Chain A
Amino acid sequence: DIQMTQSPSSLSASVGDRVTITCRASQGISKYLAWYQQKPGKVPKLLIYAASVLQSGVPSRFSGSGFGTDFTLTISSLQPEDFATYYCQKYNSAPITFGQGTRLEIK
């Protein structure tokens, strides 16, 4: 099965910072990569799919890129509401797998 590895596992940043989270697939998955945001006690929220397509209603400070095995989620200017855990998910074929998560904390 294809493994998804996120880095870093945790990250401290300040409001206004530019932040990048990386997700690496153990084999190529084309563009079939999604990103989710999960706040404590809340359900995951879809941010980006097809590696770079912004889900409706998601602020434009979020962006995604990548193809094949290497993908990134970038937040251009962190806002207080962005502090959360972020997960990547591959969906090119079964089984669906998620990365282990990246916890974004306030510095």
Chain B
Amino acid sequence: EVQLLESGGGLVQPGGSLRLSCAASRFSFSNYAMSWVRQAPGKGLEWVSAISHSGGTTLYADSVKGRFTISRDNSKNTMYLHMNSLRAEDTAVYYCAKVLDGSYPINVFEYWGQGTLVTVSS
């Protein structure tokens, strides 16, 4: 079964930075687009960013554009989310998600990791 394991979350001060990682296994990582989706405590789901299978196309929600950068290393089966200028409203569980099929990043999400909690607070 597909495995997605996020890491890198934690407590950070407003204005700080973090890098999240998503280690993928048990599927051909380089063939699939991937996304980050977050969920603030007690709130709904919010798509954050997506990346095509090759990394050539990246997309962002307006709420994080210019502050977050998505990337991937297909040789390591790992996706990343570099988060800068963090704000209190970025506090959430961040999930990585594998698309159902194909390389196109705007897609449905078949598998989700367990998530990593990012808390932005002074």
Contact = CB atoms under 8 A, between A and B. Distances in A.
B110 A46 contact: yes
Contacts of A55: 110
Q: How large, as a class, is the contact surface on chain B?
A: 20 to 34
Contacts of B112: 43-44
B107 interface: yes
Contacts of B61: 95
A12 interface: no
Interface of A: 1, 34, 36, 38, 43-44, 46, 49, 55, 87, 89, 91-101
29 contacts: A1-B62, A34-B108, A34-B109, A36-B45, A43-B112, A43-B115, A44-B95, A44-B109, A46-B100, A46-B109, A87-B45, A89-B45, A89-B108, A91-B106, A94-B50, A94-B105, A94-B106, A95-B47, A95-B59, A95-B62, A96-B35, A96-B47, A96-B50, A96-B106, A98-B44, A98-B45, A99-B44, A100-B44, A101-B45
